[in-house]
Chain A
Amino acid sequence: MKSKFRLKNGLLSILFACNLFNVAQAQQPISVNGFGSVRMGKLIPSKDNPKLVEFYNDDGLSFADDTLFGLQLQAESDNDLSYTLQLIGKAVADYKPEVSLAFVKYQLNPNHKIKFGRLAVPLFAQSDVQYIGYAHDYSRLPKAVYYRFDFEVADGVAFEGQQIYQDFSLNYLLQLTDFKGQVFKNQLPGGIELKLHQMKNFRLELNYQNLQLFTGGIRAKTDGSQLNEVLINSRVLPAVLASGASAIEQQNFLSGLNFNKNAQYTFVGFRWQQQAWKLEGEHARYGINDSADAASTSEYLALSYRFDPYILSLHHERATENPHNLAVLRQTTDPVLRQIGARFAQALNNVDYRMQVLSLRYDLQPGLCLKADLFRGHHRLENIGTFKGFSLGVDFVF
């Protein structure tokens, strides 16, 4: 994940810099904005650390996992055309800059626009602001859903629009993107390469007075050659060859596990605000269909109360992968192969935890807030069990 966004793919950045320079030459204003989070925290495991992505995996107090700085340049060459370049430097990646957004926006009319370039993928409802700590009330968005996947951003084209009718407003987003990056970071340090082709992404958001309903998803063709190599060929193939099953059985078994299929992500959620109270929740389901990657489900439900300038939030979150979903082995009858498949599925799909988080946000002034949270969770794996922890930090925008 750390390497994907880096400036090795710098052509886009250079093009944008040139565009911005040209705009500057035309004496059009360039707005420079930034955001950041500086947070320290600690996870106190009862046994082993659950090793959730960028979530206090090391012993002791950590300043790195949630600490980041972002810088954004925006320029308009006329009323309809604008350019955005956003860089993020995460402490966990030693602040190496990653291009998190880089796009040209063309405003078709007051209600519709198109964007070309590196875009935020509507993986989940708040994926586009998950690193903007100031924009939400939590120390970090619920980890179970906002797990920090590489394909939160991808290169492509987007069409966005909105329709307003009396008290209703409907926002919609359609995208066609491509992605190449690392996944399965809990299986191998740094992750394993995955390509997602022809990602067809959408998001719908319906607003009515104090209620928001949202849904969205992506569907893509996966090129999981590296996943097949690292996870199947090196870990499973030797046992399969030694199983004594027929060649056809072995072939069917390996075809079932194969990652070169369709990936699918969907989410649905709501947000309801009444005076100082806010209730929001989201449910997501995702995975690579009919492969060794069992469907994952994750969800959270949060209740917040605002005592301006304070906001107190309590949320419950849950992430589950079902290692016992052996539908992928339905064409496999050989008992030895089924046993190998079951063991592999359990090793690969081992995220299963619940967590409760109490968060406090204190707005020092517009643009600057302090946050603290306490969390306590339980992991299904016996070697992990219960864990707890806390974090303190500051979020800002300018």
Chain B
Amino acid sequence: MYSNRIPIRRWFISCCFCGLLPLFLSAAAVTAADFVVVVHPKNQSMMDQNLLLQLYLNKTAAFDDGHAAILLHLPRTSAEHQQFCLELMNLTANQYQSYWSRLVFTGNATNLTFASPEQLLRQVRLNPSAIAYLPANTTLSGVRQLGFLRDGQWQAAPADF
């Protein structure tokens, strides 16, 4: 009854001839980088990699002390944001945006907040619920360092930070 099968091979070959395959293969690789994760100085919660992952995937909405967390991101087209998504969640920035749009349009999250490093630092200084990541070499003041994400591995900051 269903003798007319899809000509998959023909389509695939057509795609290759159209030049799509070389484009697929040219996708740029992003190199590893270090990030520092910061919160408001009054935020005394502890952080580990699993909790950071759950926060940024909206699996949980609160720090370990039960207070709500507000996530802040570097600009979504920035190399730093793309790298952070890969290192923490193993998702590209595109995948992360697609994943997050499911949460937003089911009413289970508000949209992602993006800002420049300077704006992020200002917001974290002002908002005890805010959490943000920044390049590890960013000069910091007025915030508390929770720890570092290095090559995808979490390292808690020393207690005196």
Contact = CB atoms under 8 A, between A and B. Distances in A.
- Co-complex (A, B): yes
Interface of A: 31, 33, 35, 70, 72, 74, 76, 79, 82, 84, 86, 101, 103, 105, 107, 110-111, 115, 120, 128-129, 132, 134-136, 162, 164, 169, 306-310, 312, 314, 354, 356, 358, 360, 363, 365-367, 369, 374, 376, 378, 380, 386, 397
Given A35-B101, A307-B24, A366-B96, A110 B60 contact: yes
A380 B54 contact: no
A34 to B, nearest CB: 9
B119 to A, nearest CB: 16
Contacts of B11: 358, 374
Contacts of B107: 72, 74, 82, 84, 86, 101, 103, 105, 115
A312 B12 CA distance: 10
B105 A31 contact: no
A72 B102 CA distance: 13
Given A74-B110, A79-B68, A307 B27 contact: yes
Nearest to B6: A356
Contacts of A79: 68
Contact of A132 (B4, B54, B94, B102): B102
A388 to B, nearest CB: 9
Given A366-B76, A378-B2, A378-B4, A397 B101 contact: yes
B101 A134 contact: yes
A367 B1 CA distance: 42
A33 B106 contact: no
Interface string B140-160: 000000000000000000000
Contact of A367 (B8, B23, B76, B95): B76
A351 B2 CA distance: 15
B93 to A, nearest CB: 5
Contacts of B102: 128-129, 132, 135
Contacts of B23: 310
B105 A33 contact: yes
Contact of A308 (B4, B7, B27): B27
A35 B24 contact: no
17 contacts: A31-B110, A86-B107, A107-B61, A111-B60, A128-B106, A307-B25, A308-B27, A308-B94, A309-B92, A309-B94, A310-B27, A358-B6, A363-B92, A366-B94, A366-B97, A378-B1, A378-B4
B31 interface: no
Contacts, number: 109
Contact of B104 (A33, A169, A366): A33
Nearest to B112: A366
Given A135-B101, A378-B1, A378-B2, A164 B68 contact: no
Given A164-B54, A307-B27, A366-B96, 14 more contacts: A31-B110, A72-B105, A84-B107, A110-B61, A110-B62, A111-B60, A128-B106, A134-B101, A135-B98, A308-B92, A358-B6, A369-B94, A378-B1, A397-B97
B97 A132 contact: no
Contacts of B104: 33, 72, 74, 397
User: Across chains A and B, which 5 residue pairs bring their CB atoms closest together, nearest first?
Assistant: A307-B24, A356-B6, A84-B107, A366-B97, A363-B94
A167 to B, nearest CB: 9
A132 B1 contact: no
B44 interface: no
